Amino acid sequence: MPNSCEIGQALPRDTKCMASATLSMAAVANSSTALKSLQPSRKSTHDFPCLRTKRGFLLTFHPSAAGPSAQKRSFVVEAKLKVAINGFGRIGRNFLRCWHGRKDSPLEVIVINDTGGVKQASHLLKYDSTLGTFEADVKAVGDDGISVDGKVIKVVSDRNPANLPWGEMGIDLVIEGTGVFVDKDGAGKHLQAGAKKVLITAPGKGDIPTYVVGVNAELYTHSDPIISNASCTTNCLAPFVKVLDQKF
């Protein structure tokens, strides 16, 4: 897994961080690419029908007078999508790091499902042998929460996704990072529990559609409730292979 990164910047040394984080947003916004759709543009919210909910738009763009031209537009988050992370291993923790580094993210991580306990989860999030120490203030809160720079994220523990409280918590998107629930039956348990969408951070089995940022993310359709972000190998190799295939 990759180092900490911010979505919208240049590709990090390992593109899996970028791919996992941005494709989770692509699972909400039906756009040409996750990066372009989440940067300021001339499009209005009407160009992004998949940002609608029963109560209206989640995201919108507003004019900004900042800079030399008042014509610039800024990305404004009106209501964030509620995200759950299932599995707080390397991928789950790095997704949280990426999300934390993006202050204007349309996502809000509110719950983590992990069987290792909050003390272990908070320690591994703070101290990583590969990425180094996480700059955020991380601490365990009781036996069911982790505080990240003062934001408390609930921690639950259940090995069966069908038992998780996604419905009562209003979860819009589950980041499936265990590497276990990678087919429709397994990942579908999150939908049974009440989640609206599932993004698998590993190769999916069966006919689960796979999308890689920079390769085929523009093919995503909002009708897919479960999608895969492929493997870290695919995310590193496929964008370069695509360029070679197009040019030669």
Of residues 17, 98, 232, 236, which has the active-site annotation? 232
**By three-state DSSP, how is residue 76 classified?**
strand
Which DSSP state fits 201? S
Cα 138 to Cα 17, 105, 122, 141, distances in angstroms: 20, 20, 6, 10
Centroid of chain to Cα 245: 29
Q: Which residue has the tokens 């372009």?
A: 36
The residue length of the chain stands at 248
User: Is the sign of the CA dihedral 120, 122, 123, 129 positive or negative?
Assistant: positive
* Residue 98 known to be catalytic: no
Type and span of the H or E element at 138: strand 138-140
Pairwise CA distance, residues 237 & 245, whole Å = 12
What amino acid positions are annotated as catalytic residues? 232
